[in-house]
Amino acid sequence: MIEAALSDHLSLLLLFAALALLAGGPAWWLGRRYAVSPSVAVAATTSGALALAATLYRLQPQAPASRVCTVQRDLLGSLLAPQGLLNIALFLPLAFFPTLLTRRPLPVFAACTVLSGAIEVTQALTPGMGRACDAGDLAANALGALAGCAAGYAWCRTASRPGADGARPLRRRADIRLTSVIAAAGAGVLAAVALPTLLITVSDVSDGHRADPEQTKAAAAVAREFFGDAATAENVQYTPGSHGQPGRLEIATRSGSLVLDWPSREVRSGRLAAVEPDRPGAPALADGVVREAASAFARIHFPWAPPADTTQVTAAGGPDSQAKLVSWRLRVDGVLMPMRLDVIVGGDQRILAFSAADIAAPRLPKPVVTKEEAQRKAAAAHPGAEVTSSELIAKQDAQGAWHVCWITSLASAAPAGGPAGPAAGARAESGAGMRAVTLDAVTGLSFRGADLAPASG
């Protein structure tokens, strides 16, 4: 959050300077009027201006609201990361100087924590922020506020200045009551706003590993490629592969995420923007327009993709969205190859997400099992189910060997005595009772990925 905001944004520094000047004069006057240190009052307002400017500055005016908040399981790791340390440093003076002014560390800590929560929710719900709502940021901000309040408390206890002996005690029941009110009211308001509107996700970074310098450098390069020269990789996690499979490098930026294979550095998928409902009455995008937008994206990032006339355009994003999915597929002698590219285009012709696999077409034996034989075996394995489709595809087993296989889809019939007609059809379309049978098209054996076994029936 802070690391991204402080890099390459001159207008952010100008905004901070303007806020500090606007608040500094009144703070100086109020300090002199109420017999508190004017310099401390100015420092308190300046630290507040810095926190607001750094956290609420709009980084990407065209970015939609993310409406997602991430909860980090590896809380210690997020606190010790550069991003976490910057957040701690930002909130330390924000709590330190108000503690000096009010000599009430507990209410100041509660107010700073509630402010941090409000900032995270605002970042997730406000379009154009280009920020990520992260519980790790909230924890780092709270830790910085705690350190600032503790430092302010220690300063008030040890400082010797005129009038200090007659100052209000640092710990009172009134302070505890005020702290409870601030915490309860703030948590209630934030929960009422965030729970109905935000998607809370858990990031299990404990399964991953911190990226090494080479991986971090590669992540920064690919983030700039897909999100622009000003983009930064805020969080990079590496998960090693197993059973000879490549590792996975997960990259989070201010406005989206990317996944790379490692060490090949092949980009596998990405979320570039959020899918949002389109404006009422907005004209529907023609398939040709969507295809051209996706093809232009593919020519830049995936030049290996087949020609655009091999694509298929389908609806995506739900009934309230005009987003469409453009899919590239390759067939050789009627066999669907493992190469694939899927690009989701939004109603405003922006690229929302993609998935890619640049896999060379393997050399396969000619099929022996016919489509009718594959369907008959599948139907025999699941009595009462209805065959809906069959597809001839290239499939890889756990040892890395390629096979040509029949994938036959079946739909379960309505239960005996149960309702038929439209309701039963709705259940079948929803995916309930749907199953698939995969047979090796050469041997006729059932394909389970790890091995081949005789098919039932």
The answer to whether residue 363 is domain-embedded is: no
Query: Rounded to whole angstroms, how far apart are CA atoms 55 and 14?
Result: 14
3-state secondary structure of 245: coil
Task: Give the confidence band of 157 by pLDDT, cuts at 50, 70, 90.
Answer: confident
Asked which of 186, 204, 222 is the last residue of a domain, the reply is: 204
Chain segment 165-222, per-residue pLDDT in tens: 444 555 578 889 999 999 999 999 999 998 888 878 776 544 456 678 899 899 999 9
Of the candidates 231, 183, 241, 232, the residue with the CA atom closest to the CA atom of residue 207: 241
pLDDT above 90: residue 114: yes
**So what's the pLDDT on residue 406?**
93
Task: Give the confidence band of 34 by pLDDT, cuts at 50, 70, 90.
Answer: confident
Task: Indicate whether 297 and 248 sit together in one domain.
Answer: yes
- Provide the residue range defining the domain that includes 240: 206-275+284-357
Query: Rounded to whole angstroms, how far apart are CA atoms 117 and 108?
Result: 14
Buried b (16+ CB within 10 A) or exposed e, 181-194: ebbeebeeeeeeeb
Asked which of 204, 233, 250 is the last residue of a domain, the reply is: 204
Helices 105-125 & 38-56, crossing angle to 10 degrees?
A: 20
The answer to whether residue 362 is domain-embedded is: no
Chain segment 265-303, per-residue pLDDT in tens: 999 999 987 656 556 666 777 888 989 999 999 999 999
**So what's the pLDDT on residue 428?**
36
Q: Which of 105-109, 164-168, 277-281, 413-417 has the lowest mean pLDDT?
A: 164-168
Task: Indicate whether 191 and 261 sit together in one domain.
Answer: no
Task: Indicate whether 351 and 388 sit together in one domain.
Answer: no
The enclosing H or E element of 87 equals: helix 82-102
CA atoms within 13 A on the CB side of 141: 26
Task: Indicate whether 237 and 127 sit together in one domain.
Answer: no
The answer to whether residue 322 is domain-embedded is: yes
The answer to whether residue 406 is domain-embedded is: yes
Give the total number of structural domains in the chain: 3
Task: Indicate whether 97 and 51 sit together in one domain.
Answer: yes
Tell me the chain's radius of gyration from C-alpha atoms.
29
Task: Indicate whether 236 and 347 sit together in one domain.
Answer: yes
The answer to whether residue 84 is domain-embedded is: yes
3-state secondary structure of 262: strand
Q: How many residues does the chain have?
A: 457
For the whole model, what pTM was predicted? 0.52
Asked which of 357, 381, 399 is the last residue of a domain, the reply is: 357
Task: Indicate whether 323 and 376 sit together in one domain.
Answer: no
Task: Give the confidence band of 430 by pLDDT, cuts at 50, 70, 90.
Answer: very low
pLDDT above 80: residue 232: yes
The answer to whether residue 185 is domain-embedded is: yes
